[in-house]
Structure 1
């Protein structure tokens, strides 16, 4: 990341979505997980708020999305991601495979980070893409092996990945 504002926005967005994934993990987790998931969601939201404040303070400092064509590419990539995630979720729901929606969405989110790395000028998105894709691939087998819903394993894995990147981005924004 070349801009403090972009690092802060990354912390804001990834913190927010980490909280959402920890929330999704609460669909039907083991009772022992509930408190930890709540704490993780709260920490994620705190990181998001701090990132938002820092982004606001550095708003005029510039952004990779200010580069010619970057915002358009970003919008196209996110649009394709949304169509793929929602379309796949609808197909899975209609086929009676609702338990696979969380891993599907995680896979789509993971893969979409690869083309986003360019317009966002953010190399951290490549390892995040790999990590999220591995979470998506392993969540259902792990859940079945331990008698858990795939939303629990997917939500925890995706939440941890996004929170780790949000924290790294926040540290980067503060030390830049």
Structure 2
């Protein structure tokens, strides 16, 4: 695995993506939460979106040439990993829907998302993706157990677990990006 640190651009784009999807997961948690949790999901969504917006500003104002997936091979690996992730998520969701278990679609998608972070570690030069992958996958396992043993919907658990993990790691990426020096684009 490469020892290179993430660039300012990488950290900003990571914050953008993780913040955006953190907000999406908090949104999914809104499907059927207990009343006391609803305002906290909203706070989580808004906070995650702020991380995403600031991440976009930091990331897109930094030179593209510093990005981890700036070369063709890394971009191709990234595309394959994300393509497999989307394919597995869709296949499992369709299967669960066809089997009359749509309430467990968030569990499946959360597990797939969690696992997909692991092969991205070397592509994106981001060792934090290991812990993030473990936490998001653990949220799926907890959601499955809670869904099978209580009246709490699995989507509520995955919404809180994945939303929180993605938002926190997005904020950490943003802090790391802001600590990186600003670089000017290199002349061709």
Aligned match of 1:123: 127
Aligned match of 1:87: 91
Q: C-alpha distance in 1, partners of 2:35/2:67?
A: 43
Q: Which one of the candidate residues 106, 112, 137 is aligned to 1:102?
A: 106
**SS class of match (1:2):** coil
Aligned match of 2:45: 41
TM alignment of 1:50-61, pairs within 5 A: 50-60=54-64
Tell me which moved more, 97-106 or 145-154.
Answer: 145-154
State the Cα RMSD in Å.
Answer: 1.2
Q: C-alpha distance in 1, partners of 2:11/2:36?
A: 34
Unaligned stretches of 5+ residues in structure 1? none
Which TM-score applies when normalising by structure 2? 0.90
Q: CA deviation at 1:62?
A: 1.0
Q: C-alpha distance in 2, partners of 1:175/1:58?
A: 13
Count of aligned positions: 176
Q: Which one has the bigger helix percentage?
A: 1
**SS class of match (2:117):** helix
Q: CA deviation at 1:145?
A: 4.0
TM alignment of 1:145-160, pairs within 5 A: 145-160=149-164
Q: C-alpha distance in 2, partners of 1:134/1:56?
A: 32
Unaligned stretches of 5+ residues in structure 2? 181-188
Write the deviation string for residues 30-89 of structure 1: whole angstroms up to 9, x where unpaired: 111111101110000011000001112113451110235000000000000000000100
Q: Which one of the candidate residues 66, 71, 93 is aligned to 2:70?
A: 66
Q: CA deviation at 1:115?
A: 0.7
Q: C-alpha distance in 1, partners of 2:18/2:75?
A: 18
Determine which structure has more spread, i.e. the larger CA radius of gyration.
Answer: 2
Residue 64 of structure 2 contacts residue 70 of structure 2 at CA under 8 Å; is this kept in 1? Answer: no
| Moved segments of 4+, more than 3 Å | 143-146
